[in-house]
Amino acid sequence: MLTITKTFGLFLLTAIAELLGCYLPMLWLSGKGSAWLLLPATISLLAFVWLLTLHPIASGRVYAAYGAVYIATAIFWLWSVDGVTPRWSDLLGAGLALAGAAVIALGARA
């Protein structure tokens, strides 16, 4: 059984692989990069799918908790990659999603 820290780390890696796998084709489609970006994008999406198989159980509860980590990671991506400063509402929304994930995770342990 994975600890909460390991599970969170796995969620974070999964979210980064998903974001990168979608971001690189977007760069190519918008003319900001070459078609060669599709190769690392494909590898990233393959890693994303593989990482999904490593989650403790494939259930709606796990994916709901992953969704919250994805939201928070996407907001961090917005700031660090896109250079857009998150609004207070972005941060609050991500925080609420993570709080919801904590409720789901802790409730599942009971």
pTM, 2 dp: 0.84
Angle, helix 4-29 to helix 38-53, in steps of 10 degrees: 160
**pLDDT score, position 71:** 96
**pLDDT score, position 75:** 97
Three-state secondary structure call for residue 71: helix
- Quick check: 60 and 50 in contact, CB under 8 A? no
Copy the structure tokens of residue 8.
């969170």
Which residues in the chain show pLDDT less than 70? 1-2, 56-58, 108-110
Within 10 angstroms of residue 18's Cβ, the number of other Cβ atoms is: 21
**pLDDT score, position 40:** 97
Helix, strand, coil percentages for the chain (3-state, nearest 5): 80, 0, 20
